[in-house]
Structure 1
Amino acid sequence: MRPQNPPVAVAFMLTATAFIAATMLFAKSLGTETLGPPLHPLQISHGRFLFAFLTIATMAAVLRPRISRPHFGLHIGRTLFGWGGVTLMFAAVAYIPLSDATAISFLNPVFGMLLAIPLLGERVGPWRWFAAFTALLGALVLLRPGPDSFQLAGLLALGAAVVMGMELIFIKKLANREGPFQILLVNNTIGLVIATVAVLPVWVMPTPAQWAALAGLGMLMAAAQACFVNAMARADASFITPFSYITLVFASLYDLLIFDVVPDAVSISGAAIILGGASLLAWRERRAKAAS
């Protein structure tokens, strides 16, 4: 076990947030006409897993980590939901601002908490229910429920948060069973198989610029996962997880610089409400862990 080093953990997490927001930027560029004819979300997620696998497999060949027998049932479940969530998110960012999609994605721990009640038998107290309600209220604000402003694509991001919340159930079951690097390697290997089968009906030849963006997306995702694992290894999850919300700052900055999109008052309000609920949930998790 690595020694605790909170400053280094924060540096790793902030780097991960910058990389994750950049993957969303690449996905938006690939899903619109920025780099050529828009690619199908299934093809974008295939590129994400292909190049992430190549990156992690190269690291494995160099580092030669010890691999124990993986629990393939849990890995397949985790990867299937992870692939589904990523694909839905890539579909969403083609139509709504990166900041809105990123903010809605922060609901996945909320849905993970709700799903853990029937699937893991966890008990949820009033503060956690209040945090979940607050975050969901923020999502409702971002969806702009009105005949002239409703964001249908926002439902794709909401669906992604639900599916990735289910992924968290499998991640909890995998925790402490296997090493972080092994989990990344197995996850991206299975993900590549699933994504390859799914993309066959819609695959088209990307342009050179799109190939470069797909490679950048996959490699940045692998780098983000590595930074995230290193951050979690150097500090308590309850301390380091709230720093992941900085992803929203990077997403808004990239959207402004590349697509000239400025978050409006509704986007800022909805994001603030979601972050408030998510932060309250993280605080309660920390208090509960300290008391146990």
Structure 2
Amino acid sequence: MSTTNTDSPALAATFILAATTFIAGTMLIAKALGTDVLGTPLHPLQISHGRFIFAFLAIATVTAVLRPRLTRPSWRLHLGRTSFGWAGVSLMFASVAYIPLADATAITFLNPVFGMMLAIPLLGEKVGPWRWGAAAVALIGAMVLLRPTPASFQPAALLALAAAMIMGLELIFIKKLANRESPLQVLLINNTIGMLIASVAVITVWQMPSPAQWAALVTLGVLMACAQACFVNGMARADASFVAPFSYATLIFAALYDFLGFGVTPDTVTILGAAVILTGAAVLAWREGRQRRPIAPVTPSDDTPNAA
């Protein structure tokens, strides 16, 4: 598998959209674990610990079965990526326990905008007007879903905003690693380091989960492993500034899961915000496809007029 295939925008978008379905699921599970839905609420650091340890077990199992060829890792990049990822995930899980899921999701997934902006000075990527426009449209959709009210700016909302900024930095490390190492190696090392960090951080807040909470933690870790696999593969196939806006689809899937799992019917504002986000992503994909599509050469024939 090539680690530097950056000429597959359609496949990259597909991977990112698949990742959003899994990520939305993890946020719903984190909400249940951080409240009293499944028993005594778990601390965000314990939820984060469960995410890393069970994701590690899932990816380690896949690695043992596939036995891929591993290369010399860039430990500095891995440590930076995992540190930002652990901090961002922990803050995200903390926020969903205190503010509405739609608000937390919308604020947290502003991280693609931070990632796209940081990709300019840190990765040297060029972001043209179409990408800026599509990102702006997606951002508008996120703000529509956020429903700005005074309650949105309570301290817990700042946790989600901090998570977005930190995970925007993580995007840069993911992109650098995707161009150097295989996706499976990146995931294995990331979750190994993350498990170690989370295991130390959870010591002072650990409590015995209920059976339902254990099942939820396992599901959370497996879903996150699937999300990571899709996300890293997507990042390896297109510029970070191209794939970033597609991450906003998480907001759409979160609303869908809310409806299927808890009977919460999306209102007009939710539908409008989702439509705006999809429009931004669709315009970006259409424009990128036109720019990358090769032009077939014209073979002169008796019916072809001379263009001279």
Provide TM-score, normalisation by structure 1: 0.80
Q: What letter matches 2:71 in structure 1?
A: S
Alignment root-mean-square deviation, CA: 3.7
- The Cα offsets for residues 45-82 of structure 1, whole Å up to 9 and x where unpaired, read as 11000101111112222222222111000001111111
Structure 1 contact 81–164 (Cα < 8 Å) conserved? yes
Structure 2 contact 252–274 (Cα < 8 Å) conserved? no
The aligned counterpart of 1:47 is 50
Structure 1 contact 22–251 (Cα < 8 Å) conserved? yes
Structure 2 contact 106–251 (Cα < 8 Å) conserved? yes
**Percent sequence identity over aligned pairs:** 69
The aligned counterpart of 1:87 is 90
The aligned counterpart of 1:57 is 60
Q: 1:160 to 1:268 in 2, by over 3 A?
A: farther
Q: Which moved more, 1:96-105 or 1:159-168?
A: 96-105
**Equivalent of residue 170 in structure 1, options 150, 173, 177:** 173
Q: What letter matches 2:207 in structure 1?
A: V
Q: 1:48 to 1:122 in 2, by over 3 A?
A: same
Alpha-carbon distance, 1:261 to partner? 2.8
After superposition, where does 1:130-169 map in structure 2 within 5 Å?
A: 130-147=133-150, 149-150=151-152, 152=154, 153-169=156-172
Alpha-carbon distance, 1:222 to partner? 1.5
Structure 1 contact 25–251 (Cα < 8 Å) conserved? yes
- The Cα offsets for residues 214-238 of structure 1, whole Å up to 9 and x where unpaired, read as 01111222233334556778x7679
Q: What letter matches 1:94 in structure 2?
A: A
Q: Distance between the aligned counterparts of 2:20 and 2:133, measured in 1?
A: 26
Q: What letter matches 1:109 in structure 2?
A: P
Q: Please list every run of 5 or more consecutive structure 2 residues that lacks an aligned counterpart in the other structure.
A: 295-308
Q: Distance between the aligned counterparts of 2:283 and 2:109, measured in 1?
A: 13
3-state DSSP class of the match of 1:35?
coil
Q: Distance between the aligned counterparts of 1:8 and 1:288, measured in 2?
A: 16
Alpha-carbon distance, 1:140 to partner? 3.9
Q: Distance between the aligned counterparts of 1:5 and 1:282, measured in 2?
A: 11
**Equivalent of residue 75 in structure 1, options 57, 78, 87:** 78
3-state DSSP class of the match of 1:34?
coil
Q: Distance between the aligned counterparts of 2:14 and 2:278, measured in 1?
A: 21
Provide TM-score, normalisation by structure 2: 0.77
Alpha-carbon distance, 1:211 to partner? 1.1
3-state DSSP class of the match of 2:208?
coil
Structure 1 contact 242–282 (Cα < 8 Å) conserved? no
Q: Which one has a bigger Cα radius of gyration? A: 2
**Equivalent of residue 38 in structure 1, options 37, 41, 50:** 41
The aligned counterpart of 1:263 is 266
Q: What letter matches 2:261 in structure 1?
A: I
Q: Distance between the aligned counterparts of 2:103 and 2:10, measured in 1?
A: 29
Q: What letter matches 1:68 in structure 2?
A: T
Q: Distance between the aligned counterparts of 1:128 and 1:240, measured in 2?
A: 10
Q: Please list every run of 5 or more consecutive structure 1 residues that lacks an aligned counterpart in the other structure.
A: none
Q: Distance between the aligned counterparts of 2:292 and 2:160, measured in 1?
A: 30
Structure 2 contact 115–244 (Cα < 8 Å) conserved? no
Q: How many residues align?
A: 289
Structure 2 contact 103–152 (Cα < 8 Å) conserved? no
The aligned counterpart of 1:254 is 257
- The Cα offsets for residues 64-117 of structure 1, whole Å up to 9 and x where unpaired, read as 222211100000111111112212222233344444444444432211111223
Q: 1:121 to 1:18 in 2, by over 3 A?
A: closer
Q: Distance between the aligned counterparts of 1:78 and 1:287, measured in 2?
A: 33
Structure 2 contact 9–288 (Cα < 8 Å) conserved? no
Structure 1 contact 75–186 (Cα < 8 Å) conserved? yes
Q: Distance between the aligned counterparts of 2:107 and 2:15, measured in 1?
A: 23
Alpha-carbon distance, 1:285 to partner? 5.7
Q: 1:133 to 1:99 in 2, by over 3 A?
A: same
Structure 2 contact 246–281 (Cα < 8 Å) conserved? no
Q: Distance between the aligned counterparts of 1:51 and 1:77, measured in 2?
A: 21
Q: Distance between the aligned counterparts of 1:242 and 1:106, measured in 2?
A: 10
Q: Which moved more, 1:40-49 or 1:57-66?
A: 57-66
